[in-house]
Structure formats: structure tokens, C-alpha cells
Amino acid sequence: MRVGIGHDTHRLGALRPLILGGLRIDYPKGLHGHSDADVVLHALTDAMLGAAGLGDIGDAYPDTDPIYKDADSAVFVRETIVKLNQKGYRVVNVDVTIFAQEPKLGTIKGRMREHLAAMLGLETDAVNVKAKTGEKVGSIGRGEAIGCQVAVLIDACV
Ligand code: MG
């Protein structure tokens, strides 16, 4: 078994849809970024790459590459799963923590959990989604950014 951790933060305030964990969230502001700026899927991708010893998302999917402009970040997750499988690993479980002062994510966590589990080919029980505010402190607390941390356990496929 191997463990990986991923973290990401993006600036909030773009005139584009807010995408978190592959879901379009009903909110008037989106996240700035080269791709769709989904901090959850970016942190998840980095956690999986880290667990497998495969570097980081910036190496794998450079934000200077026009092919990833406005890209659906589910592509990064799906491709990383393939890379893990090619190295003989599978994902065991995933624990996600989202840091957002706004919007409130309490009613979205359950749907995101199921969506991430489906994306990863896992039982819902193997994915956990937590949401925290920034306690109105710092850039996240002022609503200037949204962050995410993800821990992933992988093991060797038999
Ligand atoms: Mg990112």
C-alpha cells in the first residue's frame, strides 16, 4: 500500500461556471485557471500521482499547453487512473476536504461523493467529502479563493 496527498487552490471571481469535484455548482462566480480550474479534481489527481510516485499535475498536464485550456479536469483523473493501473496499482479510498467560505457545500457533499466514486470506479463508501469554511480568515475566508486537500490510498492490484 502507498499513500498520496494532494493540495490545490484557485482564485475565485471568474465569469465562468464554478466546477467542483466534476459538478457544476450554482454560484455566480467561478474559479480562475487554465483548465476548468476544478480544485477538487486537481488535488485528487496530484494525490494519485503522488501515491504512485508519478510526479505532479504540473508536469503531467502543463498549464502552458493550449490543449488543456478550459479542459474538463475529469480527463486528468481518468488518465491518471490509467497510469496507476499501468504501474499495477488501484485506488483503495479517497478523503477530500474542500476549503470554501462560499458557497456553502453542505447539500452538495453527498452528490459529489457519489460522482467521485463513479469517476474512480469505487463504492461510495470508499470516497469521503468534507467541507470547511475559512472562518472568514485569510484569502479563503474572504471568499477570494477555494482550496482542496485530498488523501488517497492505493494498493497493488493482484
Ligand atoms: Mg489547479
Write out pLDDT tens, residues 13-35: 999 999 999 999 999 999 999 99
Order of strands, sheet of 30-31, starting from the edge strand that comes earlier in the sequence: 30-31, 2-14, 145-156, 89-99, 127-132
Would you say 6 and 38 are in contact if contact means Cβ atoms under 8 Å apart? no
Distance CA 79, CA 85 (A): 10
Question: Predicted confidence band at 67 (pLDDT cuts at 50, 70, 90)?
Answer: confident
**9 CA distance to ligand 1 middle (Å):** 6
- The reported pLDDT for the residue numbered 157 is 83
Mean pLDDT, range 52-72, rounded to an integer: 90
Better pLDDT: 66 or 96: 96
Q: Residue 62, Cα to own-chain centre: how many angstroms?
A: 16
**60 CA distance to ligand 1 middle (Å):** 12
- The reported pLDDT for the residue numbered 158 is 67
Grid cell in block for residue 71: 479542459
**36 CA distance to ligand 1 middle (Å):** 9
End-to-end CA distance of the chain: 12
Question: Predicted confidence band at 63 (pLDDT cuts at 50, 70, 90)?
Answer: confident
Distance CA 136, CA 10 (A): 17
DSSP letter at 73 equals T
Mean pLDDT, range 134-142, rounded to an integer: 94
Q: Note if the pTM is more than 0.95.
A: yes
Mean pLDDT, range 95-121, rounded to an integer: 97
How much of the chain exceeds pLDDT 90, in percent? 91
Provide the mean pLDDT of the chain: 96
Write out pLDDT tens, residues 69-105: 888 999 999 999 999 999 999 999 999 999 999 999 9
**85 CA distance to ligand 1 middle (Å):** 23
- The reported pLDDT for the residue numbered 102 is 95
**158 CA distance to ligand 1 middle (Å):** 32
